[in-house]
Structure 1
Amino acid sequence: MVHASSKNTARSGAQQPYSNVTYSKVNGGNHELFTTYSWDDQKVRRLFIRKVYAILLVQLLVTLAVVALFTFCDAVKDYVQANPGWYWASYAVFFVTYLTLACCSAPRRYFPWNLILLTIFTLSMAYLTGMLSSYYNTTSVLLCLGITALVCLSVTIFSFQTKFDFTSCQGVLFVLLMTLFFSGFLLAILLPFQYVPWLHAVYAVLGAGLFTLFLALDTQLLMGNRRHSLSPEEYVFGALNIYLDIIYIFTFFLSLFGTNRE
């Protein structure tokens, strides 16, 4: 999983207060107008949100296909479990591409590099999720997929409808994220000596709850009518954050409700 502090740093760096802003870019030393965006312009807002969710839909379909392949195809499942080196290679690719997209504004804003990096990132994350799912019972995986879909759909609708501003609660979410990080660190130390089921369950509940809140936050950052909002140029960053939130929610649900294969 992504280091907790780097995830929060990347979020804060790509957010800006709600206002009418003119965005420009520098190309070859010449300042040229990129475009003028106003979050009061409903057309601009709808176009930005559609672009983010179109990318997100492709990411989720690819991940779902990989999870289904690793879960239902015994030959593929046996191969990936017998070759853990691919897991660590995918994790390295995932981590490098995530840091590049999250911390560097240029690669995630300029076509086609932003989509190329996002594709590599999605494939690596899909592999990690698929391999994790291969260790669980098929029924458990399907159950957790259904729960994740219902939770994410409910949170998304709630985030669009509620008057509560999640973007103003980033300090609280950061504290909870640090709590989750150090809890995971403690579990990693204890696991080689003794498995504590109730502590593992508490960690899974905390993780699922926290990333559900992050999903609400990232959804409202797209809307543009809250205290903080994403720049319309940050459609890749917006899709990246929501995709990660959904994947984390699924993996924590799998850890909580999943049954290991015999």
Structure 2
Amino acid sequence: MTSKANSPPSYEEALHHPKAEDCSYQPPPSYSPSTGMYPGPPGYWSQGGVFPQTSESPGLSPTVTTIPTLSAAVPAAHTGDMEAFFRNQWESTSVRHAFIRKVYLILAVQLAFTFTVVAVFTFVDPVRLFVIRYPGIYWASLAVYFVVYCVLICLKEPRRRFPWNLLLLGIFTLALSYMAGTISSYYETKAVFIAMGITVVVCVAVTVFCFQTKVDLTSCSGLLCIAGVLLMIIGIVTAVVLSFQYVHWLHMLYAAIGAVVYTLFLVYNTQLLIGNRELAISPEEYVFGALSLYVDIVHIFLFILQVSGSATE
């Protein structure tokens, strides 16, 4: 039987003498509605919420529980999902930006070569007379242009496999540059300069418009196909009529319509390149992206050249 001296103190003794040697029980703290928290031991809140140092427990203080942040309130599995989502978003954005830079770098090389050929065919008289005297080379370049264009557009494997894609793109650029230079040799230098200037303004305006606007032209691909078919029909009719008798206003009308339609094509292909619309080009299709923009810009130049050439005559 345990003696009374070794028995634990009663509840009243522990309540009135908290520092009793054999005190093994502390009453539960009461909740304070005014402060919204449990009161700490004596001196706890007067010391800023930190237990005071005492001689009986030197250097010891209880662990302060910090309030969890908002991100810590998210379960670990959900946090990993969010991190993966933002990481994928950043990676896709960086890939798209690298793709856009690659396409515009290739496009800049193509346009620099094409307009150099146009300048040579326009300013160097022996070259200009040569291409006018031998139109068969023009028709041969047209055939090469058509065949290579069909290969790059219809076949995915050649336009994605390096270095065949760049080789085919180079042949295509050479053929279209010769065609553009041959057509430019029939016009005055002033008309060529005017067409180049207007083309540059149109291309810059279209690029800024596509990067700023919320209008999605990729959702109107059906209307653009109809516009392309109508342009082809008008071109055939114009070619037939002009082969019998030259009609100035008909030629001007066809050239103006062609410039407008290819400007819309340029907007459409630029938005495909950006990739934040309903339709987008895969980052692997950098040759297709450069090819589309290049064809649009050169055709805009040729149609504007016909308008400016007719206006300066």
Confirm or deny a common fold (TM above 0.5). yes
Q: Which residue, 219, 227, 233 being the options, matches 1:182?
A: 233
Matched with 1:62 is 113
Q: Kindly indicate whether residue 98 of structure 2 is the aligned counterpart of residue 47 of structure 1.
A: yes
Taking structure 1 as reference, are residues 261 and 224 closer, same or farther at Cα in structure 2, changes over 3 Å only? closer
Q: Flag the 1:39–1:158 CA change in 2: closer, same or farther, 3 A.
A: farther
Q: State the shift of 1:70 in Å.
A: 0.2
In 1, Cα distance between the equivalents of 2:147 and 2:307?
28
- Distance change (3 Å), C-alpha of 1:127 and 1:110: same
| Larger relative contact order (CA 8 Å, sep ≥ 6) | 1
Give distance in 2, aligned partners of 1:77 and 1:128: 12
Unaligned runs of 5+ in 1: 1-36
Letter in 1 for 2:236: F
Please state if 1:124 is matched with 2:136: no
User: Which amino acid in 1 is paired with 2:164?
Assistant: W
Change (3 A) 1:38 1:239: farther
Distance in 2, Cα, partners of 1:152 & 1:226: 20
Instruction: Indicate how the Cα distance of structure 1 residues 194 and 39 shifts in structure 2: closer, same or farther if over 3 A, else same.
Output: farther
| 1:148 maps to amino acid | T
Match runs of 1:108-147 below 5 Å: 108-147=159-198
Aligned counterpart, 1:238: 289
Separation (CA, whole Å) in 2 of partners of 1:190 and 1:41? 51
Give 1:74's match in structure 2, choosing from 125, 140, 148: 125
Instruction: Name the amino acid aligned to 1:182.
Output: I
Which residue does 2:222 correspond to in 1? Answer: 171
Task: Sort the Cα spacing of 1:261 and 1:181 in 2 relative to 1 into closer, same or farther, 3 A.
Answer: same
Greater C-alpha Rg = 2
Q: For 2:244, what is the secondary structure of its paired residue?
A: coil
CA RMSD of aligned residues (A): 1.7
Counterpart position of 1:4: none
Q: 1:261 to 1:198 in 2, by over 3 A?
A: closer
Could you say if the C-alpha distance between residues 79 and 38 of structure 1 is closer, same or farther in structure 2, counting changes exceeding 3 Å? farther
Cα distance in 1 for partners of 2:312, 2:277 equals: 45
C-alpha change, 1:41 and 1:138, in structure 2 (3 Å) is: same
* 1:120-171 Cα distance to aligned partner (Å, 9 max, x none): 0000000000000000000110111000000111011101110000100111
Is the CA contact 2:218–2:277 (under 8 Å) kept in the aligned structure 1?
yes
CA contact 1:39–1:45 (8 Å) conserved in 2: no
Quick one: distance in 2 between partners of 1:257 and 1:104? 37
Please list every run of 5 or more consecutive structure 2 residues that lacks an aligned counterpart in the other structure: 1-87
Shift of 1:260: 9.4
Distance in 2 (alpha carbons) for counterparts of 1:175 and 1:64: 30
Shift of 1:91: 0.8
Identity within the alignment, %: 54
* 1:39 to partner: Cα distance: 8.8
Question: TM-score, with normalisation over the residues of structure 1?
Answer: 0.83
C-alpha deviation, 1:85, in angstroms? 1.2
Q: Helix, strand or coil: the match of 1:96?
A: helix
Structure 2: distance between partners of 1:230 and 1:72:
39
Task: Answer whether contact 2:252 2:310 (CA < 8 A) is retained.
Answer: no
1:121, 1:65 → 2: CA distance? Answer: 16
Counterpart in 2 of 1:197? 248
Q: Given the alignment of the two structures, is residue 103 of structure 1 paired with residue 135 of structure 2, yes or no?
A: no
Partner of 1:13: none
Letter in 2 for 1:77: R
Distance 1:119 1:54, change over 3 A: same
- The alignment of Structure 1 onto Structure 2 pairs a total of residues equal to 226
Name the residue aligned to 1:207.
258
